[in-house]
Amino acid sequence: SQKIEQNSEALNIQEGKTATLTCNYTNYSPAYLQWYRQDPGRGPVFLLLIRENEKEKRKERLKVTFDTTLKQSLFHITASQPADSATYLCALVPLRNAGNMLTFGGGTRLMVKP
């Protein structure tokens, strides 16, 4: 069966450290993978998109890697801040999926302590 797995346990880190979140998928061949941030009571907010032919993508303090062999994406936040505390979701669209139906992992909650 097709799965997108993220660590369901909360990740607690100290301010200033690098947070690394993992997204693993099985039985998909995605054309691209996306990362979103969700705060309580709000809708997900798009952060980054990485395509299957890209190894790494950066945006300010964020970095995403995409290994199609390992079927894994890593999401890094450098110099983390308490304001980065939120739930982070990875999502993908299968390569030949009609309707662009983005499928989400269960999310990982990040807590950055001052």
Partner 1 sequence: DTAVSQTPKYLVTQMGNDKSIKCEQNLGHDTMYWYKQDSKKFLKIMFSYNNKELIINETVPNRFSPKSPDKAHLNLHINSLELGDSAVYFCASSSGQGDPYGYTFGSGTRLTVV
Binding segment toward partner 1, per CB under 8 A, in 11-19, 67-75, 78-86, 91-99: 91-99
- In the bound state with partner 1, the residue whose beta carbon lies nearer, of 19 and 90, is 90
Rounded CA separation 53/66 (Å): 9
Select the residue interacting with partner 1 from 13, 62, 74, 93 (CB under 8 A): 93
What order do you get walking across the sheet with 3-6 strand by strand?
Answer: 3-6, 19-26, 72-77, 62-67, 56-59
What is the four-CA torsion angle of 6, 22, 58, 41, rounded to 10 degrees? 30
Rounded CA separation 45/89 (Å): 9
Select the residue interacting with partner 1 from 27, 83, 100, 114 (CB under 8 A): 100
Supply angle C-alpha 22, 28, 30, rounded to 5.
80
Within 30-59, the residues that bind partner 1 by CB under 8 A are: 31-32, 34, 36, 41-47, 49, 51
Q: For residue 24, which phi and psi values (nearest 5 degrees)?
A: -115, 145
Residues that contact partner 1, how many (by CB under 8 A): 25
- In the bound state with partner 1, the residue whose beta carbon lies nearer, of 34 and 114, is 34
Binding residues (CB under 8 A) for partner 1: these are 31-32, 34, 36, 41-47, 49, 51, 87, 89, 93, 98-104, 106-107
